[in-house]
Amino acid sequence: WAVTLAQQFGATIHFFILNQNDEYNHNKIRADFNQIKKILEKNNISFTEKTSNPKNGSFVKQTISYAKELNSELIMLSTDPEKITWSLFGSSDEHIIYNTAKIPTLCINVRDLKIILGGL
């Protein structure tokens, strides 16, 4: 969806990446992002990347702040319906979806990149 929307509207995609402390998750995110970069480069899609800083507060607050800083017109969020947890105070996904900046949010269900890339 990101490629289609970027091509349709001539948009730049700005990735805000969760900084992972443990090596396994950090490496998984970097490997997934490297595959995404190849797709974007192949389709001539302009993009930037920024990583969250745990010292600057919650990932959700940083995400919304970054979107406001960029004057974003849309936040695209990957969600996994099987992993959404209920919380009295709302999940991270909910806080981004119903963000106080009132930036529209498009939720995309997570897919395995191996399936999308056809074994690249």
Q: What is the pLDDT of residue 102?
A: 94
Q: How many domains does the chain have?
A: 1
pLDDT in tens, 20-67: 889 998 999 899 899 999 999 999 999 999 999 999 999 999 999 999
Q: Given this model, what pLDDT does residue 103 score? A: 94
Residue 8 has pLDDT above 80, yes or no: yes
Supply the CATH number for residue 49's domain: 3.40.50.620
Which CB contacts under 8 angstroms, 24+ apart, belong to 78-86? 78/107, 78/108, 78/109, 78/110, 79/107, 79/108, 79/109, 79/110, 80/109, 80/110, 81/109
Q: Using pLDDT thresholds of 50, 70 and 90, give the confidence band for residue 110.
A: low
For 109, the domain range is 2-117
**pTM (2 decimals)?**
0.79
Contact 84, 93 (CB under 8 A): yes
